[in-house]
Structure 1
């Protein structure tokens, strides 16, 4: 007779349930008073831009994935913000949609600015101003 515990799979969510609920809110809908006001994740923003552009062109996931030479399930995960894609994958997906990597990132940055402007904290103030407006990514 064995004293081993039964072999049950254990699922550990990547985000706590409260955070998952906060990220499930569509980007176009402002948060309700009880919702968390956390900043969106970059992968969610990039995925939203890719999906929106693909749908606006009336293209299928398979078509774009084949053109970009990446797997359809992986592209789907990227669009849903489940995968943090490399710059090579993002560039391939952008090219497949007729965009440059810069176009894709600029659109995602525009979404980030738009979303965080609505939910910015009043304590945030900048003491210096700059004529430069850009985006910096570090790998």
Structure 2
């Protein structure tokens, strides 16, 4: 004896639909206590934002233009701009080329980015936004 499931899709709503207004203008919905306003949790910085900040700071410290660095790295100027603004995730080859165009090695770029992350984390701890035990002591990359 076998049972077959009906060949129909089931829709399970994620939220309950709002109750229709009661006739006569009287609200008959059950009373719910007001929720306390939620404080938004500050987001962790994205790796691409941190790398972009480091690339831009280094380029500006050298008083070089986007065009100059992009040509030296053999990448397009709009793409380098997107990297600096944290809009694009760069491959390791592109990061190495951008670092080399700035006179850095890939390890130098990654070390400066890790330092930037550590400073950001320390400033959050100082402002009381995260626990003092949350620390970044080493470089950690995840794909």
Q: Distance in 2 between matches of 1:125 and 1:58?
A: 36
CA contact (8 A) 1:37 1:119 kept: no
**TM-score scaled by length of structure 2:** 0.63
Q: Distance in 1 between matches of 2:123 and 2:72?
A: 36
Q: Distance in 1 between matches of 2:120 and 2:84?
A: 18
Which blocks of at least 5 consecutive residues in structure 2 are unaligned? Answer: 1-38
Matched, 1:136 2:140: yes
Give 1:52's match in structure 2, choosing from 53, 57, 72: 57
SS across alignment from 1:55: helix
CA contact (8 A) 1:77 1:83 kept: yes
CA offset digits 1:78-116 (Å, max 9, x no partner): 000000010100000000000000100111100101101
Q: CA deviation at 1:122?
A: 1.8
CA offset digits 1:43-82 (Å, max 9, x no partner): 0000000001001111100000000000110000000000
Give 1:122's match in structure 2, choosing from 128, 131, 135: 131
Q: CA deviation at 1:136?
A: 3.3
Change (3 A) 1:138 1:39: closer
SS across alignment from 1:58: coil
Aligned equivalent of 1:38: 43
Which blocks of at least 5 consecutive residues in structure 1 are unaligned? Answer: 1-33, 127-132
The structure having more radius of gyration, on CA atoms, is 2
Matching of residues 92-103 of structure 1 within 5 Å: 92-103=97-108
